Chain A
Amino acid sequence: MESIKSKKITAVWIITILTLFVVSIVLGILMRLNQGGVIEQTPVAFYVNMTTHGLTMIGIWFVAGMMAVNFLLQRYVKTSHTVNILALVFTVVGVLMLWTSTFIGKFHAGWTFLYPLPFKIMWAKWATPVFYLALVVLVVGWLIWCLSLIAQILKKYSISQTFAWQHFKKNPKVETPPFILISMITLVGITTCLIAAVVLVALTAAEYFSKGAFVNDALLMKNLTYFFGHTIANEMLYLGLAVIYELFSEISGRPKWKTTWYVAIAWNFTLVFILTAFFHHLYMDFVQPEGLQIVGQLASYFASLPAAGVTVFSIFIAVYRTKINWSLPNLLFFIGTAGWVIGGLGAVIDATISNNVVLHNTLWVPAHFHTYNAMGNVLFSLGFFYWFATLDTEKIYSGKGTKLILSLLLIGGIGFLLAFYIAGADSIPRRYSNYPPELAAGIPLATMGAAFATIYLIGILIFFFNISKGCLKILSSPSS
């Protein structure tokens, strides 16, 4: 079971993540206010904020999923406290280095840092190597964490058991808990994309230090960038799903979910599809062979089907005509699943080649990924945070508090996302710091987005304030 040491580090993780989340939301609001003409930022300031916002958000919600899985995994296997602390240190150092490269060095190549942009120095010369060093620190820390968790799982379960292959047959002798299956599938996917990041950084460093003797292939670098970037942004959702599989039924007062043959098959397929879906980021790259573009479209379709279908089905069955103990965590899980599905549909629409011709690089793209993050994965993690903060104490919220937080998150989140979707459907491009007269329709929508994002931020601040009591209580409790 979870030790007090483990609870303390988890509390530190939660406070760190929510602090960084608040700062990143503020950066996002500043960007939308600038696009709306309410404030005036220089283009450099805008793109610095965009780079910092994107990478910090990806980073914090990835580690939010990881630390939740790490915490819950202790119900099944022993995990390393040292590695958990190491991951925390590497994450904090990595984020500080990243912010140094952006806020001080003015590095602003976007969170995708697409080759060869980082080599086109429009910022302090040292900012490019510091940015890549930050990536190295983050990737190495997370890779060690992943491999450590995988190793611990493999101490108790064989490879075939972790992937639940015995469930393909009738009456398996050993049952693989859904949490172990999903965690393993996701950790393997994360390991793969982190290794892609290592290859990417190694090739970048080779070019950087070769002084022209070696140059990279832009197509290879783009493939590797999205192999890492797209995959990690998606895998972090699956970490959240692992938490839901473990906690939703428990919090709702329902029997624990079990691994069935279709759950096992669905998640095994998910591993393959999620690792090949990134090809849909290269539809506009004419040199990419058509076969890979088709793989990208099909994998995008199929990646969403098994996990989403099975999860939505499981949750629907769990709540349909059933007495549920609704509380903030399972409501967040439930609403988060809806947000994840809606964002996923937006993603599938965009991943369809014929639609992508129209929607590519419009605000539709941030619309869908903000949907399954801000109204999906973030809510999964918030549900875990609340459940964790109230583990050893009576519930902090009254019914009114729960309603207020949910209302603010829902109204703020939906309004903020609508502004993106409407603008995307109107072909307003993404990544514009200001809109020229031809794109004037984007201006009021950006202001609207900022206003609703502020409502969402207020909801987060109230949530943070409330659960920080629980986290601080855990931190101040005696160690033994």
Chain B
Amino acid sequence: MFKNTFLTILIAGGCFLASGQEAPLSTGEEGNIYQKIYNAPLVTSTKQATSFEKLRKEKPLLLGLIFTRCSGVCNPFLLQLKENLQFAANNNSVNVVVLSFDPRDSITDMNSLAQRLDLENDLQWTFAVTDSILPLIQSVGFSPVWDSAKQQYDHDAFLVGINKDGYITKKLIGVRSANDLSLLISSVNNIFSPTYRLPGTNALFSCFNYDPTTGKNTPGLGLLFIALPAVVTVLLLILLSYFNAPKVG
């Protein structure tokens, strides 16, 4: 119990300290992108010692951060991830690491979790614990908060994409769709994914208007603004020519 409280304080303290440093720790999906993940030593379900570096050199990684005693989002998150992964594009191009951020979890707990999810023999999935969770969660921008009343961590469903070079390329917060997962997989494989801001009512002059029902773009008012300078110039030329016409004779 003492160990748990101590480590929880340590995690919270670390997060607090990190927030005061030059590179602020962001809990959003934009934070820590293109930073390297901390190369934490890992103990996996086969009780073999390994590290992030070894694992990510084999294949890009999707890292899910959970704890086995979670009564909230962890189980639905993992179940949804397992299901979505079957339908995601290029799903065989990545491996998944499920890592506990709770110091109380042992590798036995993680093995039990893998069995419950029917993933204990799936080579694509690795269930692991580490003794260096604090620098690791700092490096990905994950900030669980210990709720002593509920004896639970208050945390997000958190999936991190790590490419073969160890860089965090994209993060997904929350239980997300197979499409989002496909984008994450493209990202860790360094494949470009087009994204754009959705049109709002305050964007009056879009070059193209996207119709989500047909998936087609139609020319918008904005295109007129691109043609406008040429039109104004021609009008100015005509006006200047009219008022400055050479005198005949």
B244 near A192: Cβ-Cβ < 8 Å: no
A318 to chain B, nearest CB (A): 31
Binds B, one of A218-226, A333-341, A458-466: A218-226
Give the contact-size bracket for chain A.
35 or more
B233 near A217: Cβ-Cβ < 8 Å: no
- In the complex, what residues of A have CB within 8 A of residue B205's CB? 203, 216-217, 220
A216 near B208: Cβ-Cβ < 8 Å: no
Known: A191-B233, A287-B196. A227 touches B241 (CB 8 A): no
Among A196, A213, A217, A223, the one with the most B-chain Cβ atoms within 10 Å of its Cβ is A217
- In the complex, what residues of A have CB within 8 A of residue B245's CB? 154, 158
Among A188, A210, A215, A286, the one with the most B-chain Cβ atoms within 10 Å of its Cβ is A215
A275 near B230: Cβ-Cβ < 8 Å: yes
Known: A151-B244, A154-B241, A158-B246. A215 touches B202 (CB 8 A): yes
- In the complex, what residues of B have CB within 8 A of residue A199's CB? 225, 228-229
A193 near B236: Cβ-Cβ < 8 Å: no
Known: A151-B244, A287-B217. A220 touches B237 (CB 8 A): no
A155 near B246: Cβ-Cβ < 8 Å: yes
Alpha-carbon distance A69/B230, docked complex (angstroms):
23
Alpha-carbon distance A350/B205, docked complex (angstroms):
30
Kindly state whether residue B200 has any CB partner on chain A within 8 Å. yes
Q: CB-nearest residue of chain A relative to B232?
A: A195
Among B200, B228, B229, the one with the most A-chain Cβ atoms within 10 Å of its Cβ is B229
A220 near B206: Cβ-Cβ < 8 Å: yes
Kindly state whether residue B204 has any CB partner on chain A within 8 Å. yes
B161 to chain A, nearest CB (A): 20
B226 near A227: Cβ-Cβ < 8 Å: yes
Q: CB-nearest residue of chain B relative to A207?
A: B202
A224 near B244: Cβ-Cβ < 8 Å: no
A217 near B241: Cβ-Cβ < 8 Å: no
- In the complex, what residues of B have CB within 8 A of residue A125's CB? none
Known: A188-B233, A286-B194, A287-B196. A147 touches B202 (CB 8 A): no
Number of A-B contacts (CB under 8 A): 85
Kindly state whether residue B222 has any CB partner on chain A within 8 Å. yes
Known: A158-B245, A193-B229, A195-B228. A215 touches B237 (CB 8 A): no
A68-106 interface code vs B (CB 8 A; 1 in, 0 out)? 000000000000000000000000000000000000000
Among A155, A156, A193, the one with the most B-chain Cβ atoms within 10 Å of its Cβ is A155
Alpha-carbon distance A479/B230, docked complex (angstroms):
41
Alpha-carbon distance A203/B207, docked complex (angstroms):
14
Alpha-carbon distance A192/B196, docked complex (angstroms):
29
Contact of B240 among A151, A156, A210, A286 (CB under 8 A): A151
- In the complex, what residues of B have CB within 8 A of residue A152's CB? 244
B226 near A220: Cβ-Cβ < 8 Å: yes
Kindly state whether residue A399 has any CB partner on chain B within 8 Å. no
Alpha-carbon distance A286/B195, docked complex (angstroms):
9
B202 near A159: Cβ-Cβ < 8 Å: no
Kindly state whether residue A261 has any CB partner on chain B within 8 Å. no
Kindly state whether residue B1 has any CB partner on chain A within 8 Å. no
Alpha-carbon distance A150/B232, docked complex (angstroms):
15
Known: A154-B240, A154-B241, A192-B229. A217 touches B246 (CB 8 A): no
Known: A159-B237, A191-B233, A287-B217. A216 touches B226 (CB 8 A): no
Q: CB-nearest residue of chain B relative to A222?
A: B207
A192 near B203: Cβ-Cβ < 8 Å: no
- In the complex, what residues of A have CB within 8 A of residue B116's CB? none
A158 near B241: Cβ-Cβ < 8 Å: yes
A298 to chain B, nearest CB (A): 17
Known: A158-B245, A199-B229. A217 touches B222 (CB 8 A): yes
Kindly state whether residue A212 has any CB partner on chain B within 8 Å. yes
* CB-based closest 8 A-B pairs: A220-B222, A195-B229, A196-B229, A217-B206, A154-B244, A192-B233, A155-B244, A219-B207
- Which residues does A use to contact B, with CB under 8 Å? 147, 150-152, 154-159, 188, 191-193, 195-196, 199, 203, 210, 212-220, 223-224, 227, 275, 286-287, 289
